[in-house]
Amino acid sequence: MAPWIKKEVQRHARVAASVELYTIPFYTTVMTSVIDENSDAYNIIRGVLIEEMMHLQLAANLCVALDTTPSFQFPSYDIPVWFLNPGAVLDVNMGPLDSNSLSAMLAIETPESTLGAKDITPNGNNSPTYPYSSIGEMYHALLFGIKEVNQFSWTAKNQQERWAAQGYPQIIRSINDAEEAVKAIEAQGEGGMISPGFLVEPEKYQMNNTVPSGAPGAPYKASPILHKELSHYGRFLKIKRAGLPPVYAGIENATHSTNKVLQRKFAAMMSNLNVLWGGGTVIPQDALWLNTLETMRESAQAARECWEAGVIPNWMHFELPS
């Protein structure tokens, strides 16, 4: 087994933060394609999306605690998810909620318990050598590496604590805090080793507030997270078993005016995320956070308006010079 060194632990932490970001445009695109915003399908994905945003915060905080900085870049959806086995986590096509997108969502959130005993940590891959069979296995390997190296400052500077009153620490100041953060991400997300119900256990890992601080308006409106007792995988199975709801149709048109709005909002959001965890700004962090939340909310609204205009949301478009 390849040895862990500090640089590899830091690299894996940065990838973990990037994987959390990867889900946000994809799940937002799928969610906003659902015509009825009061449907279970819409609200299940909305709850998952909010938790993914908190997971991004925890993964980014972990980077800072391990003496590195997350580097948020535009996700690419035409290649396999970083560090993960394409056979376990599929590539995605940005589109409406349909059988293909739902299959990709289930693949992203696949619990290790569905992969077979040979893939389950601790008998699986605890080394820095990837690909991993699931997001859960990737996090287990990262935590193993943190404990192996254990040469970190655990600084709290530039860490964010924007989802209050959880049953576990948001700021990561120790190995124990890192382990709790990983457990929360896995319990809410893939559901870990729990089978067959994919329940979030113990209850302290169920998200107990629905909105980040300072975040009025969709998709952050204060309403209960639907089926928060289930992991993301379990919730997506609920959608599959209930049947797919009516959705918008769209064509690809990256330069449509609604897509240009979406691209500007998402670029602003990405810039803010990098500044929040990187520091070096004269803007107070609380004010920068509120601006970040607003660009997140406006990105979701712009994605909805893309569907309503008959175009598929396109989160990034770079025109080549003529």
Q: Is 230 helix (H, G, I), strand (E, B) or coil?
A: strand
Q: For residue 198, is it within any domain? A: yes
Number of domains within the chain: 1
Determine the Cα–Cα distance for residues 276 and 191; give it in Å rounded to an integer: 29
Distance CA 123, CA 227 (A): 31
In a domain, 321, yes or no: no
pLDDT of residue 6: 98
Quick check: 121 pLDDT over 50? no
Q: For tokens 């862990």, what's the residue?
A: 4
Residue 269 placed within a domain: no
Question: What is the CATH classification number for the domain harbouring 147?
Answer: 1.20.1260.10
Q: For 159-180, what is the mean pLDDT? A: 90
Cα of first residue to Cα of last residue in the chain, in angstroms, is 50
Q: What is the pLDDT of residues 233-286, one digit of tens each?
A: 999 999 999 999 999 999 999 999 999 999 999 999 999 999 999 987 778 888
Range of the domain at 149: 6-251
The band of 290, judged by pLDDT with boundaries at 50, 70 and 90, is confident
Indicate if the pLDDT at residue 173 is higher than 70: yes
Query: pLDDT confidence of 220, banded at 50, 70, 90?
Result: low
Task: Look at residue 260 and tell me if it is in a domain.
Answer: no
pTM of the model: 0.92
Kindly tell me if the per-residue pLDDT of 200 is higher than 70: yes
Cβ contact 108:75 at 8 Å: no
- For 52, list phi and psi in degrees, rounded to 5: -65, -35
From 28-42, 108-122, 269-283, the region with the lowest mean pLDDT: 108-122
Grade residue 120 by pLDDT with cuts at 50, 70 and 90. Answer: very low
Give the tens place of pLDDT for each residue, 49-87.
999 999 999 999 999 999 999 999 998 887 778 888 876
For residue 19, pLDDT over 50 is answered with yes
Decide if pLDDT at 162 tops 80.
yes
Mean pLDDT of the chain: 87
Distance CA 56, CA 80 (A): 19
Residue of 192 and 50 predicted with greater confidence: 50
Residue 161 has pLDDT above 60, yes or no: yes
Q: What is the pLDDT confidence band of residue 13, given thresholds at 50, 70 and 90?
A: very high
Confidence of residue 225 (pLDDT cuts 50, 70, 90): confident
Structural contact between residues 126 and 140, judged by C-beta atoms closer than 8 angstroms: yes
Range with lowest mean pLDDT among 11-15, 155-159, 223-227, 271-275: 223-227
Q: How many residues can be counted in the chain?
A: 322
Report which of residues 41 and 291 the model is more confident about. 41
Residue 68 main-chain phi, psi, to 5 deg: -140, 180
